[in-house]
Amino acid sequence: MISKKITSWSTNVRVSLPAVCFVWQIAMIVLFGVFIRYNEEADTHWQEFRRENNISSDIENDFYFRYPSFQDVHVMIFVGFGFLMTFLKRYSFGAVGFNFLVAAFGIQWALLMQGWFHTLDPATGKILIGVENLINADFCVAGCLIAYGALLGKVSPVQLLVLTLFGVTLFAVEEYIILDLLHARDAGGSMVIHAFGGYYGLAISWVLYRPNLNLSKRLNGSVYHSDVFAMIGTLFLWMFWPSFNSAITDHGDGQHRAAINTYLALASSVLTAVGISSVTQKKGKLDMVHIQNATLAGGVAMGTAAEFMITPYGSLIVGFCCGMISTFGYVFVTPLLEKYLKLQDTCGVHNLHAVPGMLGGFIGAIVAASATEEVYSREGLINTFDFEGDFADRTVGTQGGFQAAACCVAIAFGIVGGGCVGLVLKIPIWGDPADDNCYDDEAYWEVPEDDESIPPILEYNNHMIHKLPDL
Amino acid sequence: MISKKITSWSTNVRVSLPAVCFVWQIAMIVLFGVFIRYNEEADTHWQEFRRENNISSDIENDFYFRYPSFQDVHVMIFVGFGFLMTFLKRYSFGAVGFNFLVAAFGIQWALLMQGWFHTLDPATGKILIGVENLINADFCVAGCLIAYGALLGKVSPVQLLVLTLFGVTLFAVEEYIILDLLHARDAGGSMVIHAFGGYYGLAISWVLYRPNLNLSKRLNGSVYHSDVFAMIGTLFLWMFWPSFNSAITDHGDGQHRAAINTYLALASSVLTAVGISSVTQKKGKLDMVHIQNATLAGGVAMGTAAEFMITPYGSLIVGFCCGMISTFGYVFVTPLLEKYLKLQDTCGVHNLHAVPGMLGGFIGAIVAASATEEVYSREGLINTFDFEGDFADRTVGTQGGFQAAACCVAIAFGIVGGGCVGLVLKIPIWGDPADDNCYDDEAYWEVPEDDESIPPILEYNNHMIHKLPDL
Amino acid sequence: MISKKITSWSTNVRVSLPAVCFVWQIAMIVLFGVFIRYNEEADTHWQEFRRENNISSDIENDFYFRYPSFQDVHVMIFVGFGFLMTFLKRYSFGAVGFNFLVAAFGIQWALLMQGWFHTLDPATGKILIGVENLINADFCVAGCLIAYGALLGKVSPVQLLVLTLFGVTLFAVEEYIILDLLHARDAGGSMVIHAFGGYYGLAISWVLYRPNLNLSKRLNGSVYHSDVFAMIGTLFLWMFWPSFNSAITDHGDGQHRAAINTYLALASSVLTAVGISSVTQKKGKLDMVHIQNATLAGGVAMGTAAEFMITPYGSLIVGFCCGMISTFGYVFVTPLLEKYLKLQDTCGVHNLHAVPGMLGGFIGAIVAASATEEVYSREGLINTFDFEGDFADRTVGTQGGFQAAACCVAIAFGIVGGGCVGLVLKIPIWGDPADDNCYDDEAYWEVPEDDESIPPILEYNNHMIHKLPDL
């Protein structure tokens, strides 16, 4: 049904893939053994902790504030990102399967990396984890899955695991600089997740440029049902994005406001994505690529500002602009990037993550800089921007400046880190497919014969062969 | 693969669709700017509000009572309704895509309309929104999506947006009359959502009757995989219906009881839907249409009574009857409606929403009228039926009467409103498809060529051509 | 497209299926009427109950502790198990539809059976239900759905309902012995759900051995899109398993810790499943069967120990081993079981549920036996193992012994119960398919003609016929 010309030596990962899986998983076990323990809310000493801290009820365990959001984020990572990439006609196994593999490894490594940078207890040398760490690990992995979007169909699972190992490491460092050193706020990760992840993937894809990729052109497209599968991914991302942006914001109004803002921005970007999609096509027909992707741009762009007092109409404006910009990107920018910058971006992460993420970072900077005590109240300002400790004297203007600087840091980490990792992935030992063999699950999967469609043809064949002599 | 006879002039929405999307979205931004603000639980003044109202913990923010249910409702609206309608063999893009578009616009307009009628602060002229408003907006949109079910495949996206604009408006007025003026209870919306939405769609469909619709008959059916996609919609609706009916009920026992009752009614309607489906078919085979739809009737019918003390076995009885009635509707009533009433109802919303919704309204009236202080306790009666303020002296018998009246109001709004909106949609400017072009995504979507199945045929072709001379 | 040789007399369930559905559903209504009422947290007397028990806020209603987890479990039962079994090329309707039917009946019967054994109030003779009962009913049904996995494609819906009737009954007795008499802990049901359900299904399958099943071999496999559908099931099971294992554990740290442990074990089993899948295939290609199933083994195996202080790295080790063992099972053990033990196990529940469930039981025993006051604190030990009342003096060593005994009880109930139920199902009155008619939805479903793929062939045909004379 599909070309069988698979250069089998090149994509055989029978040694490298199991080796990486086992060695790295054993390393995780050892490192977890040394470093990771339950935090006081997940430990059997919780009842003592409650008494000592005058917590009146079990319901005030952070688990009940964040677990529903955590599960929504979890769905976004595994079903959302996984199914969003199933749109290719013959790469659905790779989309959903490698997404699964990469995320399952990445969350473990992220718990360690983020733990070392953010929550290592200097007294005991342990990282104490709870539900918030699980959410952050999912977030961290999201950056790598975004990068996968640019490379979809062109890399081996071993390359993806390497990409994740380095991606999570870069993420943790970048996040440490942005959140701890610059003290920027980025609850939904416009900067640390989307801008970083998008540029990271683009830089890798640029280094791995394949001049003869058009040999696989026949498989670089969708079929009817694969587009419907992709809509599962789109919708779960779209629906749960309010949970994504509110998952780790402040208890109470912080989570509440972040969810509302994201809900509104997303709704708005659907309408402008549809509008631009229709107006840029002959006969006004909609393009599934835009519906599957650009409708999400509002969620990406609200990642930083969702917890601020951006106001409901402010959220609508953000969604309005980013839905438009993202769709324009798919229509005009992606072809230009490929032609002039040699940038092959399978899922268009440039338009969905890199640019809206960058814009989200700067929107956050502007909203932060224009915060006033009148709108936030003094206490609200302190809570929202965490003006405490070393940062008690910071003004909103300064905060805005640091937010903008943070966005530049995220982009720089993405581009420079991606460039370096791309060079590593270029070494010809990772089992990546040949140029005429991309976007094809045959390379790494036992693909079932689709005998559903074959029998009638053969049947007809026999029938005809019998009939021919009559001529 | 599918007839390409598309009368392109008629379905070209390249001007109208973008125009509507942009103009309406800009209108939303302006109206949100004038009217919509965060409520005190989503605002940075929450900590002050907590102290003033002696709220002991952030966990008592309404967000934590309702957000998990909100997300479930959100999934029902976008994945549930969207995928339920993907069953047509060549209208899955339209089903899930237009559902997405309509809902994204509708929730914004609903926040405004419901705000003006229910939560406008007369002092400031502002609508203060929180998570409960988001749920109500989703509910409001559900009415329009139900109406879409009757029209699936026969209308343009522009018509759907117009349907939604008027539908949300009618909904808000009807809801105001039912909940505020009549002081009826309808937490899960048997009346305000399902009966209204069902009759609204049926009335529009009746006005838009297409005498030559059988020209599109070849596409008015499912294929194997499209039926499996539709089961995604069915199951997410079925599973999350307990959240739907309990999302805005009273904190504590109200939400708890509504979830239990709905869970039971749904379970019961699965068995009777399966039973009737089997007994009405030759050889006892099950029909996917019934499994996809009639299994949900129990949830629809519990929309009003779920928060009452209907008892667990009462819930089972409701599900039992409505699963039967709904399946009978699909088998016997829909064909008759089409034949004698000229009512073309693609998804059978008559059987799933209109009738079970109406029944649910009257069931609610009966259960309310038979409430006793012995069963509810005095306090429970007041809490459940909100016998406070102007309504402190209302008896349960009176309440039952008002509930029944409310149901009639919902139906009347649906039929009359739908008739008028149908006339508007009949104006030949909306780009709807010709009679021989319905149920076809080609009209409004760039549909990918399904080359998956084409290559082997061509291959065989070449092979054969080469072979033939040998004869 | 698919063989139409359906021995129609044998699979006609037009009498038996509706009869069972209606009679049993009516029986449920009667029994619910006699026995089932709302518990005090779902009843309108809740406000009085709150005052009497000094509960400070509605948020401390058990609903808010457990409802989000309940909904996740609900998704696992209906979408998770249902879609996991859609992998067969022509049995997706049966997979998702019969799963739906069986679960909808089973949860009602489970509420009664578990109620009689666990929560019957001796004073009033009533079973008082709340959200925890709904979760337990879902759990109970999971055992039967696991058994269905072994029988997929080989049994009629009536047989499945009989299997569920007896399965739920056996489950309730077994659970009573394990949790109440032996006082073992099994929050996520490694023993009571997975080991029992797995061996129950295997024993039934063994009794129902079909020597000529290879006549249906052509349908015992997947096609491309059916494998993608199955991934929906896999992922929702995988993502929500932390909710499954934590749904009924202790408030506070119990739920928190169980979620973390399960999350980690699952992540770990993905890597080892992928590793073994690759290394055991020629050319290192991955097999979707392994990815769909063995990745879940970590969740199964953590069912007992998730609430204990197994430590994060302990969880990783459990996932590591079980991911490996499960994949090895699919590669080597299932073929041997079929060849030598005459055990036909469609979904390989032996490898995913029976063995990892059994291992999970023994892992729980070991972890319990090695618990120390130093790690748990005295209070934590009492809370975690419920060392209260009659069991106040039990030591952790004794507890470990009882845990191990409980695991044997679960397996014994599964094997013996399954053997007996298998004999009942062997009576030739249930409408099961003939050996050449298994794995085929045509037997019990109105299957749509897939005209999508037919037209081009016929079209080509005509074209060619016209062309041939030219030769």
The model's pLDDT over A382-414, given as tens digits with 9 standing for 90+, comes to 999 999 999 999 999 999 999 999 999 999 999
Report the distance separating Cα C70 and Cα C132, nearest Å.
Answer: 8
Over range C422-450, report the average pLDDT.
94
Q: Is the pLDDT reported for residue C455 higher than 80?
A: no
Residue of A nearest to C258 (CA): A42
Burial of B133 (0-12, 13-18, 19+ CB in 10 A): buried
- Whether residues B239 and C48 touch (CB distance < 8 A) is answered with no
Over range A215-241, report the average pLDDT.
97
φ and ψ at residue A22, rounded to 5 degrees: -75, -45
Model pLDDT, residue B11: 84
Positive or negative torsion for Cα B92, B93, B94, B95 = positive
pLDDT one-digit tens code per residue, C51-96: 999 999 999 999 999 999 999 999 999 999 999 999 999 999 999 9
Give the rounded distance of the alpha carbon of C175 from its chain centre.
15
Longest dimension (CA), chain B: 97
**Which of C84, C217, C313 has the most A C-beta neighbours within 10 Å, making it the best mutation to test the interface with A?**
C313
Q: Is the pLDDT reported for residue B250 higher than 60?
A: yes
In the three-class reduction of DSSP (H, G, I as helix; E, B as strand; rest coil), residue B445 is classed as: strand
- The count of CB pairs under 8 A between chains A and C is 250
In the three-class reduction of DSSP (H, G, I as helix; E, B as strand; rest coil), residue B143 is classed as: helix
Scanning B38-130, the segments in alpha helix (DSSP H) are 46-52, 62-75, 81-84, 92-114
Model pLDDT, residue C450: 72
From B218, B291, B381, residue closest to C97, measured CB to CB: B291
**Which of A57, A59, A71, A224 has the most B C-beta neighbours within 10 Å, making it the best mutation to test the interface with B?**
A224
Q: Is the pLDDT reported for residue B224 higher than 50?
A: yes
Over range A312-333, report the average pLDDT.
98
Contact predicate A49/A464, CB 8 Å:
no
* DSSP structure string for A229-255: HHHHHHHHHHHHHHHHHHTTS-TTHHH
Model pLDDT, residue B294: 97
Average pLDDT, whole number, for chain C? 93
For the full predicted model, state whether its pTM sits above 0.80: yes
Model pLDDT, residue A2: 41
Task: List A286's β-bridge partners, or say none.
Answer: B445
Q: Is the pLDDT reported for residue B455 higher than 80?
A: no
Q: Is the pLDDT reported for residue B428 higher than 50?
A: yes
Going through B119-190 in order, the beta strands assigned E by DSSP cover 120-121, 126-129
Q: Is the pLDDT reported for residue A453 higher than 70?
A: no
Q: Is the pLDDT reported for residue B458 higher than 80?
A: no
* DSSP structure string for C114-173: HIIIIIEETTTTEEEE-HHHHHHHHHHHHHHHHHHHHHTTTS-HHHHHHHHHHHHHHHHH
Over range A68-91, report the average pLDDT.
97
Q: Is the pLDDT reported for residue C212 higher than 90?
A: yes
Report the distance separating Cα C195 and Cα C181, nearest Å.
Answer: 19
Report the distance separating Cα B98 and Cα A295, nearest Å.
Answer: 13
Structure tokens at B279: 């007994």
Contact predicate C130/C63, CB 8 Å:
yes
Structure tokens at C252: 């506070």
DSSP class of B88? B
Q: C62-75 and B62-75 helices cross at what angle (nearest 10)?
A: 20
pLDDT band at A9 (very low <50, low <70, confident <90, very high): very low
- Whether residues B232 and C79 touch (CB distance < 8 A) is answered with yes
- Neighbours of A, requiring at least 3 CB pairs below 8 Å, are B, C
Structure tokens at A191: 């900067």
Q: How many Cα atoms occupy the beta-carbon half-sphere of B132 within 13 Å?
A: 18
Minimal CA separation from B209 to chain A, in Å: 25
- Whether residues A260 and B13 touch (CB distance < 8 A) is answered with no
Model pLDDT, residue A451: 55
Report the distance separating Cα C150 and Cα C154, nearest Å.
Answer: 9
- In this prediction the ipTM stands at 0.93
Nearest to A370 by CA among A383, A356, A385: A385
Run of H or E including C36? strand C36-38
pLDDT one-digit tens code per residue, B333-369: 999 999 999 999 999 999 999 999 999 999 999 999 9
Nearest to C132 by CA among C158, C106, C155, C111: C111
Q: Is the pLDDT reported for residue C8 higher than 90?
A: no
Buried b (16+ CB within 10 A) or exposed e, C338-370: eeeeebbbbbbbbbbbbbbbbbbbbbbbebbbe
A471 against B157, higher pLDDT = B157
pLDDT band at C458 (very low <50, low <70, confident <90, very high): very low
Model pLDDT, residue A458: 37
C178 against A1, higher pLDDT = C178
From B260, B284, B471, residue closest to C13, measured CB to CB: B284
Structure tokens at B406: 């409310």
DSSP class of A39? -
Minimal CA separation from B325 to chain A, in Å: 32
Token pair 């102290």 in the structure block, residue? B51
Model pLDDT, residue C1: 38
Report the distance separating Cα B48 and Cα A382, nearest Å.
Answer: 13
Model pLDDT, residue A282: 83
Q: Is the pLDDT reported for residue C462 higher than 90?
A: no
Q: Is the pLDDT reported for residue C453 higher than 60?
A: no
Task: List B36's β-bridge partners, or say none.
Answer: B127
From A32, A74, A232, residue closest to C316, measured CB to CB: A32
Nearest to B101 by CA among A72, C232, A277: A277
- Whether residues A445 and C272 touch (CB distance < 8 A) is answered with no
Give the rounded distance of the alpha carbon of B56 from its chain centre.
38
Over range C214-240, report the average pLDDT.
96
Q: Is the pLDDT reported for residue C4 higher than 80?
A: no
* DSSP structure string for A270-297: HHHHHHHHHHTSGGG-B-HHHHHHGGGH
Model pLDDT, residue C461: 40
Over range C117-135, report the average pLDDT.
95
pLDDT band at B451 (very low <50, low <70, confident <90, very high): low
Burial of A410 (0-12, 13-18, 19+ CB in 10 A): buried
- Whether residues A38 and C309 touch (CB distance < 8 A) is answered with yes
Residues of chain B above pLDDT 90, percent: 91
CA distances from C309 to A42, A75, A108, C261 (A): 10, 27, 19, 9
DSSP class of A33? H
φ and ψ at residue C286, rounded to 5 degrees: -85, 150
Order of strands across the sheet that contains C126-129? C36-38, C126-129, C120-121
Give the rounded distance of the alpha carbon of B96 from its chain centre.
13
Model pLDDT, residue C451: 55
**Which of C69, C90, C231 has the most A C-beta neighbours within 10 Å, making it the best mutation to test the interface with A?**
C231
In the three-class reduction of DSSP (H, G, I as helix; E, B as strand; rest coil), residue A454 is classed as: helix
Q: Is the pLDDT reported for residue A3 higher than 60?
A: no
Over range A3-27, report the average pLDDT.
79
Nearest to B368 by CA among B213, B187, B144: B187
Model pLDDT, residue B160: 98
Contact predicate A162/A421, CB 8 Å:
yes
Average pLDDT, whole number, for chain B? 93
Residues of chain C above pLDDT 90, percent: 91
pLDDT one-digit tens code per residue, C278-310: 999 989 999 999 999 999 999 999 999 999 999
Nearest to C271 by CA among B215, B181, A107, A148: A107
Minimal CA separation from C347 to chain A, in Å: 16
In the three-class reduction of DSSP (H, G, I as helix; E, B as strand; rest coil), residue C432 is classed as: coil
- The count of CB pairs under 8 A between chains B and C is 248
Model pLDDT, residue C471: 35
Report the distance separating Cα C294 and Cα B140, nearest Å.
Answer: 43
Minimal CA separation from B63 to chain A, in Å: 6
- Whether residues B68 and C63 touch (CB distance < 8 A) is answered with no
Model pLDDT, residue C291: 97
Three-state SS annotation for C353-420: HHHHHHHHHHHHHHHHHCCCHHHHCHHHHHHHHCCCHHHCCCCHHHHHHHHHHHHHHHHHHHHHHHHH
Structure tokens at C250: 């202790």
- Whether residues A228 and B92 touch (CB distance < 8 A) is answered with yes
Over range B78-101, report the average pLDDT.
97
Q: Is the pLDDT reported for residue C321 higher than 50?
A: yes
φ and ψ at residue A38, rounded to 5 degrees: -70, 145
Scanning C253-311, the segments in alpha helix (DSSP H) are 253-279, 288-293, 297-301
From A33, A78, A79, residue closest to C313, measured CB to CB: A33
pLDDT band at B408 (very low <50, low <70, confident <90, very high): very high
Report the distance separating Cα B51 and Cα A233, nearest Å.
Answer: 42
Between A253-262, B88-97, B234-243, C1-10, the lowest mean confidence (pLDDT) is in C1-10
pLDDT one-digit tens code per residue, B281-300: 989 999 999 999 999 999 99
Phi-psi region of C398 (alpha: psi -120 to 50; beta: other; left: phi over 0): alpha
Over range B248-265, report the average pLDDT.
97
Please count the residues of chain B.
471
- Neighbours of C, requiring at least 3 CB pairs below 8 Å, are A, B
pLDDT band at C11 (very low <50, low <70, confident <90, very high): confident
**Residues of chain A contacting C240 with CB distance shorter than 8 Å:** 71
What is the Cα Rg of chain A in Å?
Answer: 24
C168 against B451, higher pLDDT = C168
Report the distance separating Cα C234 and Cα C274, nearest Å.
Answer: 14
pLDDT band at B10 (very low <50, low <70, confident <90, very high): confident
How many C-beta atoms surround the C-beta of residue B23 within 10 A? Answer: 11
Model pLDDT, residue A11: 84
φ and ψ at residue B372, rounded to 5 degrees: -130, 155
pLDDT one-digit tens code per residue, C327-350: 999 999 999 999 999 999 999 999
pLDDT one-digit tens code per residue, A280-304: 998 999 999 999 999 999 999 999 9
Contact predicate C320/A25, CB 8 Å:
yes
Model pLDDT, residue B161: 98
**Residues of chain C contacting B278 with CB distance shorter than 8 Å:** 13-14, 17-18, 21
Structure tokens at B420: 């008028």
From A14, A446, A451, residue closest to C288, measured CB to CB: A446
Beta strand pairing call for C36-38 and C126-129: parallel
Q: Is the pLDDT reported for residue C218 higher than 80?
A: yes
Order of strands across the sheet that contains A120-121? A36-38, A126-129, A120-121
Contact predicate A192/A135, CB 8 Å:
no
Report the distance separating Cα C102 and Cα C93, nearest Å.
Answer: 14
pLDDT one-digit tens code per residue, A147-183: 999 999 999 999 999 999 999 999 999 999 999 999 9
